[in-house]
Structure 1
Amino acid sequence: MADTSARRDDGEPRAAAAYRRAVGALRSRSRVGERLRRVRASGGLALQAGLAAGISWWVADGLLHIPQPLFAPISAVIALAASVGQRLRRTVELIVGVAVGVLIGDALIYLVGTGAWQLGLIVVLSIVAAVLLGGSPAVMVQSAATAVLIGTLSPVVENLEFPRFVAALVGGAVSLAVTAVLLPLHPLRLINRAAAPALCLLADQLDVTAEALRRRDGPAAQAALDRLRDNKQEVAALTEAAQAARETSTLSPVRWESRQGPVARYARAAEPIDRAMRNSGTLIRRTVTLIEDAEPIPDTLPDAVSALAEATRLLRREFATGHEPDKARRTALRAVTGAGAAYRAGVGFSGSVVVAQVRTTTSDLFVATGVEQEEANRLVRGAFGPLATDRSGSGD
C-alpha cells in the first residue's frame, strides 16, 4: 500500500508538470503565431517606409544637394506613420507645420538670438501660430519640432531654413508617390483584414446571446454585452480601413478601377456596420433584462438571433470574396421572419424590444450590403409579416 501511494503521489506531480509544459508550449506557439500575423500585416507598411526613406534621401542629397538631407527621409517616414487613410492630410499638415516652424524660428532668431529662453519662446509662439491657423495637433507638433531644429541647428548650419522646408516637401511628396504609384496597398485586402474582427465580434456575441436565450442564462448574455461594448479597437480599425480604401483608390492610378464595385461598397459599409453593433448592444442588453424578468421566450426568438449572427458571418465572407452578398441578405431576412413569429407568439416588454432590434440590425446589415435605407426598411417589414396586435414592433 505504501509503495502504491508513493507511486501515485510521485505520478501526480509529474502529470501536473507535463500538463503545465504542454499548456506553456501551446501558449508560446500561439504568441509566436500572433506575432507572425502582425509582421505580415505590417509588412506592406515596412516596405513602403523603407522605400520612401531611401528615395527621399536620394532626391534630397543626390539630386537637390540639400544640406542636412536627413529631414527628407524623416518627413517621409512621419507621413507614412500616419494612420492609413490619412496620409494625404498628414502630408499637407507636415508641410504646413514645417512652414510655420521655419517662419517663427527664423524670425525670432533674427530678433532675439539663440539660447535657452529664446528656444522656449520659439516653441510657444510656433504652437500659438499653428493654433491660430486652425492647425491640428499634428501641425502643432511639427511646427514646434521644426522651430526647435531651426533654433538649435541654425547657429551651426548656415541657411538651414529653406533647405529644411524643401526637404520636408521632398519627403512628403515621395511618401505619397510610394503609396500611390510605386507600392500601393491593395484596398480590398486592406479593408478585409480590418473588417473581419469587427464582423466576427458581432457574430460571436449574437451567437452567445442566442444560446443564452435558449438556456435562460443571464450571466452569459451579460458577458456577451460586455464584450460587444468593448469594440472600440475593432470599429476604429474598420473606419480607418474604409478611409484607406477611399484614399488608395483615389490617389493610386493602378487602383482607380477599384473606386467602384466591391471596394467602394465595402468602404461605405463601415458606418452601417457600426450602427449594427450599437443596435445589437441594445438587443443584448434587453435580452439580459428579459431573462432576469422571466419573460416568455418563444422558440423562434433565439433562432432569429442565431440567423442574425449567421448573416453577419456570411456578409464577411461574401465581402472578402468580392461577391454580391445575396446569401447574407436572405439569411438576415430569415432572422426577421423568426422575430415576427416570436412577436405573434407572445413576448413581454423586453422581448418586444429584442424583436425590434432584430429588425433594426437587419436593416443596418442591408444598408451595409449596398441597399438603400428605404428599400431595406421595406424588405424588413415584408419579412416580418403581419402584426398580431396594435404594437408596431418597428425599429428599423
Structure 2
Amino acid sequence: MVRWGWLREAVVRLRQGWVPVAEATLAATVAWLLATRLVGHPQPFFAPAAALIVLGQARGQRMRRAIEVVLGVAAGVLVADLVVQALGPRSTGTVFTVILLTVALAVAIGASSVSVVQAAVSALYLVVVSPPTESLVPFRFVDALIGGAVAVVASQLVDARRPLAPLVAEFRRTFDGMAEVVEEVATALADRDDAAARAALDRARGLDAGVERLRTAVLAAGEALRLNVRRRRHIGRLRTVDASVAQVDYAVRNVRVLARAGVTCNRLSSPVPDELVTALRVLAEAVRAAGEALAADLDGAESAADRHAEQADAAALAAVRAVGRLFTQGHTLPLAVIVGQVRATAIDLLRGVRADDDAAVLARVDEALGLPPL
C-alpha cells in the first residue's frame, strides 16, 4: 500500500514538474547534436554539460549563468593547458596545481560559486580525462558556448508567447494565499476554534516562500522580456510591479502577525466581537482585489486593473473603519494587535495598487481608523 502511495506521489510530481524534465532533455540533446554535427567535435562533453548547468539555475538568472559557464570553461582550459605543458598530464602534482590555481583565480576575480565549480571541473576534466592539445583547446570553449546558448533558448520556449504569464499566476497565488489565511483567522475567531487558529498561523508562516517565488518570477519575467525583442516595451510595466513586491512582503509579515494575535485572542475568556470577524473577512476581500489589480496591470488590462484597485481601496478602508470602531479603552492587547495589523495591511495594499504617495495613503487609512490627522 505504501509502495503504491509513493508511486502516485511520483506521478503527481512528474505532472507538476514535466517542464524542467523536457527542458533539460531537449537542451542537452540539441547541444550535443550542434556540437557534433555543426562544429564537428567528436567528444563534445561540455556542450550538454553546460546546458544542464545553466538550466539548473533559477529562472531569471540563466543568461548570467550562461555567461559565467562559458567564462569558467575558458579559464579552466587556459590554466589546465599551461600546467599540463609544464608538469605533464594525469599526475598528482598536476591535479593539485590545476585545482589550486583555477579556484584561486576564480575567487580572486570575484566569480560566483557556479563559475568557480565550472572552472575547476573543466580544468580537472582536461587534466585527467582528455589532456588538452593545441587543436582541441578552442572546441571546449565553443562547446560551452553552444550549451549555454541552447539552454537559454530552451528555457524561454514555454513562455515565449506570454512571458509575463507565470508572474501573473504567481501574483494571484500569493494574494490568494494571504486572503485565505485572513479568512481562516476570521473563521477560527468566530468558532473559537484554537486548532484552526494555530493552523492559520502555520499557514501564515509559509507565506514567505510565496514572496520568494514572486521575486524569482519577477527576475524570470525580466529575463524573458529582454530576450523577446517584440515584448521589451513591457519592461517598464515590470519595473512598476517590482516596486510593489516590497509592499507584498510587508503585507505578508502583517498577516503573519495578525494570525499570531488571532491565536492569542482565541485563548482569552472574553468574547470575540462579531464586528472583528466581519472586518477580517472584508480585509480578505481587499487582499484578493489587490492581487487581481496587480495581475490585470501586468496583463495590460488597465480598465480591469483600475476596477480591482477601486475594490481593494474600498474594502481595505471599510475593514479599517470596522476595527476602528472596536478599538476603545479597555479592550485586550491581542485585539489591539489585530487592529494594528489590519491598519498596516491596508496601508501596504493601498501602497501596492495606488499611485498616491505614502503620506496620502497613511492619511486616508488613519482617517478611516478615526485617528486625528498629523
User: Could you tell me the TM-score, scaled by structure 2's length?
Assistant: 0.83
Q: Partners of 1:87 and 1:99 in 2: how far apart?
A: 18
Per the alignment, residue 364 of structure 1 pairs with 348
Shift of 1:211: 1.7
Counterpart code for 1:364: D
Which has more radius of gyration? 1
Aligned with 1:241 (options 210, 217, 233): 217
Match of 1:89, SS?
Answer: helix
**Structure 1 residues 208 and 183 mapped into 2: Cα distance closer, same or farther (>3 Å)?**
closer
**Pairing 1:111–2:95 present:** no
1:179–1:185 contact (8 Å) kept in structure 2: no
Counterpart code for 1:38: Q
Counterpart code for 1:165: F
**Pairing 1:148–2:124 present:** yes
Per the alignment, residue 146 of structure 2 pairs with 170
**Pairing 1:383–2:343 present:** no
**Structure 1 residues 99 and 156 mapped into 2: Cα distance closer, same or farther (>3 Å)?**
closer
**Structure 1 residues 177 and 30 mapped into 2: Cα distance closer, same or farther (>3 Å)?**
closer
Matches within 5 A, 1:208-357: 208-261=184-237, 263-294=238-269, 297-321=272-296, 322=299, 323-324=304-305, 325-326=308-309, 327-344=311-328, 347-357=331-341
2:81–2:132 contact (8 Å) kept in structure 1: no
1:307–1:332 contact (8 Å) kept in structure 2: yes
Match of 1:330, SS?
Answer: helix
Q: Partners of 1:33 and 1:328 in 2: how far apart?
A: 39
**Structure 1 residues 143 and 29 mapped into 2: Cα distance closer, same or farther (>3 Å)?**
closer
2:171–2:295 contact (8 Å) kept in structure 1: no
CA offsets 1:349-382 (integer angstroms, 9 cap, x no match): 2222211111111122223325443343233223
CA offsets 1:222-270 (integer angstroms, 9 cap, x no match): 2211221133432322221111112212232132132244x55444433
**Structure 1 residues 109 and 30 mapped into 2: Cα distance closer, same or farther (>3 Å)?**
closer
Of 292-301 and 269-278, the range deviating more from structure 2: 292-301
2:159–2:165 contact (8 Å) kept in structure 1: no
**Structure 1 residues 227 and 149 mapped into 2: Cα distance closer, same or farther (>3 Å)?**
same
**Pairing 1:192–2:178 present:** no
**Pairing 1:87–2:71 present:** no
Shift of 1:108: 2.0
2:51–2:147 contact (8 Å) kept in structure 1: yes
Shift of 1:140: 1.5
**Structure 1 residues 54 and 310 mapped into 2: Cα distance closer, same or farther (>3 Å)?**
same
**Structure 1 residues 189 and 181 mapped into 2: Cα distance closer, same or farther (>3 Å)?**
closer
**Structure 1 residues 81 and 360 mapped into 2: Cα distance closer, same or farther (>3 Å)?**
same
Q: Partners of 1:217 and 1:259 in 2: how far apart?
A: 46
Per the alignment, residue 182 of structure 2 pairs with 206
Aligned with 1:374 (options 359, 362, 365): 359
Shift of 1:36: 6.5
Matches within 5 A, 1:17-166: 34-35=12-13, 37-39=15-17, 42-43=18-19, 45=20, 48-49=23-24, 52-53=27-28, 55-115=30-90, 117=92, 118-155=94-131, 159-166=135-142
**Structure 1 residues 375 and 56 mapped into 2: Cα distance closer, same or farther (>3 Å)?**
farther
Any gaps of 5 or more consecutive residues in structure 2? none
CA offsets 1:316-364 (integer angstroms, 9 cap, x no match): 3444454313223322222222221222486322222211111111122
Shift of 1:173: 3.0
2:126–2:132 contact (8 Å) kept in structure 1: no
Any gaps of 5 or more consecutive residues in structure 1? 1-20
1:297–1:347 contact (8 Å) kept in structure 2: no
2:204–2:256 contact (8 Å) kept in structure 1: yes
2:276–2:322 contact (8 Å) kept in structure 1: yes
**Structure 1 residues 379 and 61 mapped into 2: Cα distance closer, same or farther (>3 Å)?**
farther
2:70–2:141 contact (8 Å) kept in structure 1: yes
Q: Partners of 2:158 and 2:172 in 1: how far apart?
A: 27
Match of 2:164, SS?
Answer: helix
Q: Partners of 1:140 and 1:294 in 2: how far apart?
A: 60
**Structure 1 residues 70 and 329 mapped into 2: Cα distance closer, same or farther (>3 Å)?**
farther
Shift of 1:383: 2.6
**Structure 1 residues 366 and 351 mapped into 2: Cα distance closer, same or farther (>3 Å)?**
same
Residue identity over aligned pairs, in percent, reads: 32
Q: Partners of 1:375 and 1:91 in 2: how far apart?
A: 45
Counterpart code for 2:263: V
